[in-house]
A and B are shown apart, each in its own frame.
Chain A
Amino acid sequence: MIVAEQKPLQEIKRLINEAENVLVVGCGTCVTVCFAGGAREAAIIASSLRMSTKLDGNGKNVSDVTVQRQCEWEYLDQIADQVAAADIVLSLGCGIGVQAIAEHFPATWVVPGLNTSFLGLPTEQGVWAERCAACGDCILGITGGICPIARCSKSLLNGPCGGSEAGHCEIDPDVDCAWQLIYNRLSSMGKLDVLLEIQPPKNWRTSRDGGPRKIVRQDLRLVAEED
């Protein structure tokens, strides 16, 4: 899932400073499960902003609403009236949600309430960790299901580097060395020979390096036309 965390209240206040009527829009998908921008957080942020701006002598009308998914037009259609009534939308969606609102409601000024952090998962209560960098050419099949692009600090394809120590990455004792994990897993599966192959330089064109990406599925487009 997409993992995000809330921006500091001070920053959010700066972002909405000019507005009178603020609509906080939560999202019911990824950011709900990472406790950053679901209905609960939207309500809390809305009331914090009401209180805080009032204390500042600059009280604002702040309401909140949460949609199932900010990244789909049909869910955004459901809040069109509320959006139209607001001077500003504070999106608690991920960066995609914010942009979807901007794109769907061209006349509305939208600002982000979250910092979209990474694609990952909760490893334990209250801890989320990155797992994928969406490189567009998945190599998990040769790395035992552990991603060195996202999880090795240097995205090495022929790791580990000389900084690996006791399972940790050189950058921080709290960061696992992805290549140690890969090594352990391939070793436990009796597949260490995979690591003896030299992996050639990656084709980064499928990654962000090749420019903004887009997928067009002709099969689905044809079905849509038939409908």
Chain B
Amino acid sequence: MSDETVSNEQKTAGNGYLVGSTLEKVLRAGHFAVTAELGPPQNADSAVIRKKAGLLKGYCDGVNLTDNQTAIVRMSSIGAGAIVVQEGLEPVIQMTCRDRNRLAIQSDLLGAYALGMRNLLCLSGDHQTFGNHPTAKNVFDMDSLQLVQMVTEMRDEAVFQCGDKFKGPEARFFVGAAAAPFADPVDFRPYRLAKKVKAGANFIQTQLVYDVPAFARYMEKVRELGLHEQTYILAGVGPLKSPGMARYMKNNVPGILVPDELIARMSAAGKPWAGKKKDELTREDRIARSKAWKAKGIQICIELIQQLRQIEGVSGVHIMAIEWEAAVKPIVEGAGLSPRPEVG
């Protein structure tokens, strides 16, 4: 989106949008929103971003640019976001508290706004021990909740975290936060969401959901607390690539529930090749099996979206097709969410 779409008048009240980003407009208009994740490369190649942006263009209302995801050094979310803006898509900048203190976060956000970015997702960030620089010092000057509060005050009060007033235009973001509905302590999760909403979160993107009944129970509590009326909740979904990936997530990634039934369906998709050892499969076999799994993964993802859409209080989906951005188009089309609404 270009700078002109957010006029000064809009900023100060005008048309009633907080920011006027496409994502905000889509959600405010009551459309079922779609955001998708774009993982920046582990190098300085802008072509990678352009290519991935090309795969997503027209199939989502906002593109999340991850911020050194899993603590692996990648092109910065703001750098990649600037390219996404050039490509005519709307970025959702992810910002973690792991790598920057309050000075760096604020200055980077001034830059991001100046470059045309309007949506922000505030995260604590995966601990650096997971990534490729485990000997690094971490920052965690603030946590994700405090970050939400800081950027909300930056927009609504035009103040920096220290309380100093902006002289000149403030950075205005449509502020998002993450939710992990299945992480422990599970009973506290709806209340933690409530804290994020209280801090100012305008939208929420959840951790990957595969267990719809469990998510529905979470949403029940969320509705009881009235949170779905104060924020837009985008349920996280992602296509499974293989039964192995499904099992890995179930067993190794905190806060992700993968029902056995889904794992079984993924396995069944690879049935023609089942029972064969690795060296008994030709390259063609493996490609064919991977294709079959991926097709099933996409189909399951579409079904998940359709089920999640039925849950009251779910305002959209956030598609995380990690290193598989090409999956977004068939998913969005399959779920009947294409074309994306024009909100001007």
Chain A interface residues (CB < 8 Å from chain B): 153-167, 170-172, 177, 180, 183-184, 192, 195-196, 198-201, 204
- B161-180 interface mask toward A, CB cutoff 8 Å, 1 = contact, 0 = none? 10000000000000000111
Please tell me if the beta carbons of A165 and B146 are within 8 angstroms of each other in the complex. Answer: no
The complex places the Cα of A180 from the Cα of B187 at a distance, in Å, of 11
Please tell me if the beta carbons of B254 and A162 are within 8 angstroms of each other in the complex. Answer: yes
Q: Determine the chain A residues whose CB is within 8 A of the CB of B185 once the complex forms.
A: 160, 164, 180, 183-184
Nearest chain B CB to A170 CB, angstrom units: 5
Please tell me if the beta carbons of A201 and B184 are within 8 angstroms of each other in the complex. Answer: no
User: Number of contacts between A and B (CB, 8 Å)?
Assistant: 95
Q: For B255, give its contact among A156, A163, A200 (CB under 8 Å).
A: A163
Nearest chain A CB to B217 CB, angstrom units: 18
Please tell me if the beta carbons of A162 and B207 are within 8 angstroms of each other in the complex. Answer: yes
Interface residues in B104-151 (C-beta closer than 8 Å to A): 124-127, 129-130, 138, 140-146, 149-150
Q: Determine the chain A residues whose CB is within 8 A of the CB of B126 once the complex forms.
A: 163, 170
With a 10 A CB-CB cut-off, give which of B97, B129, B138, B188 has the most chain A CB atoms. Answer: B188
Q: For A154, give its contact among B102, B143, B179, B194 (CB under 8 Å).
A: B143
Please tell me if the beta carbons of A198 and B183 are within 8 angstroms of each other in the complex. Answer: no
Whether A162 touches B161, Cβ cut-off 8 Å, given contacts A167-B184, A201-B141, is no
Q: For A156, give its contact among B124, B130, B161, B198 (CB under 8 Å).
A: B124
Please tell me if the beta carbons of B184 and A177 are within 8 angstroms of each other in the complex. Answer: yes
Closest 9 pairs (CB-CB, A-B) = A162-B180, A165-B254, A158-B145, A156-B143, A162-B183, A201-B146, A161-B124, A164-B184, A154-B140
With a 10 A CB-CB cut-off, give which of A154, A159, A160 has the most chain B CB atoms. Answer: A154
Is B199 engaged at the interface, CB distance under 8 Å to the other chain? yes
The complex places the Cα of A198 from the Cα of B184 at a distance, in Å, of 19
Is B191 engaged at the interface, CB distance under 8 Å to the other chain? yes
Please tell me if the beta carbons of B140 and A156 are within 8 angstroms of each other in the complex. Answer: yes
Nearest-CB residue, chain B, relative to A164: B184
Whether A166 touches B184, Cβ cut-off 8 Å, given contacts A154-B98, A198-B199, A201-B141, is yes
Q: For B191, give its contact among A157, A184, A196, A201 (CB under 8 Å).
A: A196
Q: Determine the chain B residues whose CB is within 8 A of the CB of A204 once the complex forms.
A: 141
The complex places the Cα of A201 from the Cα of B2 at a distance, in Å, of 33
The complex places the Cα of A192 from the Cα of B192 at a distance, in Å, of 12
Is B51 engaged at the interface, CB distance under 8 Å to the other chain? no
Q: For A157, give its contact among B129, B146, B179 (CB under 8 Å).
A: B146
Q: Determine the chain B residues whose CB is within 8 A of the CB of A195 once the complex forms.
A: 188, 191
Q: Determine the chain A residues whose CB is within 8 A of the CB of B161 once the complex forms.
A: 201
Nearest chain A CB to B154 CB, angstrom units: 13
Nearest chain A CB to B95 CB, angstrom units: 15
Is B223 engaged at the interface, CB distance under 8 Å to the other chain? no
Is B195 engaged at the interface, CB distance under 8 Å to the other chain? yes
Please tell me if the beta carbons of B195 and A165 are within 8 angstroms of each other in the complex. Answer: no
Q: Determine the chain B residues whose CB is within 8 A of the CB of A170 once the complex forms.
A: 126-127, 130, 254
Q: For B178, give its contact among A153, A162, A183 (CB under 8 Å).
A: A162
Please tell me if the beta carbons of B143 and A159 are within 8 angstroms of each other in the complex. Answer: yes
Q: For A158, give its contact among B127, B138, B143, B254 (CB under 8 Å).
A: B143
Please tell me if the beta carbons of B150 and A201 are within 8 angstroms of each other in the complex. Answer: yes
The complex places the Cα of A155 from the Cα of B146 at a distance, in Å, of 13
With a 10 A CB-CB cut-off, give which of B126, B130, B192, B194 has the most chain A CB atoms. Answer: B192
Please tell me if the beta carbons of B254 and A198 are within 8 angstroms of each other in the complex. Answer: no
Nearest chain B CB to A159 CB, angstrom units: 7
Q: Determine the chain B residues whose CB is within 8 A of the CB of A177 once the complex forms.
A: 184
Q: Determine the chain B residues whose CB is within 8 A of the CB of A196 once the complex forms.
A: 191, 194-195
Q: Determine the chain B residues whose CB is within 8 A of the CB of A153 once the complex forms.
A: 127, 129
Nearest chain A CB to B49 CB, angstrom units: 26
Q: Determine the chain A residues whose CB is within 8 A of the CB of B195 once the complex forms.
A: 158, 196, 198
Please tell me if the beta carbons of B142 and A165 are within 8 angstroms of each other in the complex. Answer: no
The complex places the Cα of A126 from the Cα of B179 at a distance, in Å, of 38
Q: Determine the chain B residues whose CB is within 8 A of the CB of A162 once the complex forms.
A: 124, 178-180, 183, 207, 254-255
- B47-67 interface mask toward A, CB cutoff 8 Å, 1 = contact, 0 = none? 000000000000000000000
With a 10 A CB-CB cut-off, give which of A159, A164, A199 has the most chain B CB atoms. Answer: A164
A-B contact pairs, 30 of them (CB 8 A): A153-B129, A155-B140, A156-B124, A158-B144, A158-B146, A158-B192, A160-B183, A160-B188, A161-B124, A161-B144, A161-B183, A162-B254, A163-B126, A163-B180, A164-B185, A164-B254, A164-B255, A167-B184, A170-B127, A171-B127, A171-B129, A192-B188, A195-B188, A195-B191, A196-B194, A196-B195, A200-B146, A201-B141, A201-B146, A201-B161
